[in-house]
Amino acid sequence: MIYNKEQEKRLDYLLQKFKEDSGRYRDLEVEDDYQEKRMALRSLMNIRMPGALDEETVRIQDEFLTQEASEKGIVSFREIPTAARQYGSAHPFAEKISVWQGDITRLKIGAIVNAANSQMLGCFVPCHRCIDNAIHSAAGIQLREECSSYMKHRKIQYGSRYEEPVGRAVLTKGYNLPAEYVIHTIGPVVTGRLNETLKAELSSCYRNVLECCVKNGISSVAFCCISTGEFHFPNREAAEIAVKTVTQFLEINEKSFERIIFNVFKDVDRTLYEREIKKL
């Protein structure tokens, strides 16, 4: 694969700057291969604690991530067929709902939903495959900084041991994502048998995200599969709750939304969401 030379220059610059910024990894040796260098940069961004970085480095980071988003291929939500068009669904809001399988960081939409953790600072595991890591990596270091500012204010209010509770929705900018905003929500963690409390908590995630959209005039939103990954919520029940909660919300707030997308990554989730939408 041939890489844009200007983009590779940005990558080399950023890799050196983030190595210097890390202190510990100042002398990190990386093979002279684009993908190896890109993984190293992402790793350094992932492990970096919140904090200011010089304006020139941030500017070049923004240029790099914007170009990378363009190369990945930006997908407008208007390009994605509705359930009515794609399946001939009889769902009462089939013209408002879509199922889309792909990388949520490619979506040009009002807001994408991040399945965050209770620390609300993103994933610190280098190149981890969770959606929290993917979103922060594509947005840039400003997203962690804004989340950190939010958590600092919450800790002033509620004490230094404060953790973001399950079900709330927190709005931030999208920065270098095609999406204008990110809405962060903490899903329930299933450690044993699924129960009604956990189901209600997952439903509250979807409902509060939609209420956040209405409050902030966001008419298009893409949901990830909240809690089904690292948090072990069963996929089938999660899809049922997601579609049911969105449907109930639209019964009252239909005019507030142009599109609601269920974004899936795995084939099993695509099948489950399609089945839920088709059967109504």
pLDDT score recorded for residue 3? 64
Q: What is d(CA 72, CA 138) in angstroms, rounded to the nearest whole number?
A: 11
Q: What is d(CA 112, CA 102) in angstroms, rounded to the nearest whole number?
A: 13
CA dihedral 70, 76, 82, 83 (to 10 degrees): 40
Residue 18 reports pLDDT greater than 50: yes
pLDDT: which is higher, 212 or 192: 212
Other CB atoms within 10 A of residue 48 CB: 16
How would you classify the pairing of strands 169-173 and 181-186? antiparallel
Q: Measured in whole angstroms, how far is the alpha carbon of residue 54 from the centre of its chain?
A: 26
The percentage of residues in the chain with a pLDDT greater than 90, rounded to a whole number, is 93
> What integer is the mean pLDDT of 85-105?
94
Mind listing the pLDDT tens digit for each residue in 108-137?
Answer: 999 999 999 999 999 999 999 999 999 999
**What SS3 class is residue 115?**
strand
Sheet holding 97-101, edge to edge: 97-101, 259-264, 220-223, 111-116, 181-186, 169-173
Question: Which residue type, as a one-letter code, is found at position 156?
Answer: I
Residue 96 reports pLDDT greater than 60: yes
Mind listing the pLDDT tens digit for each residue in 236-247?
Answer: 999 999 999 999
Task: State the pTM of this model.
Answer: 0.95
Mind listing the pLDDT tens digit for each residue in 31-40?
Answer: 999 999 999 9
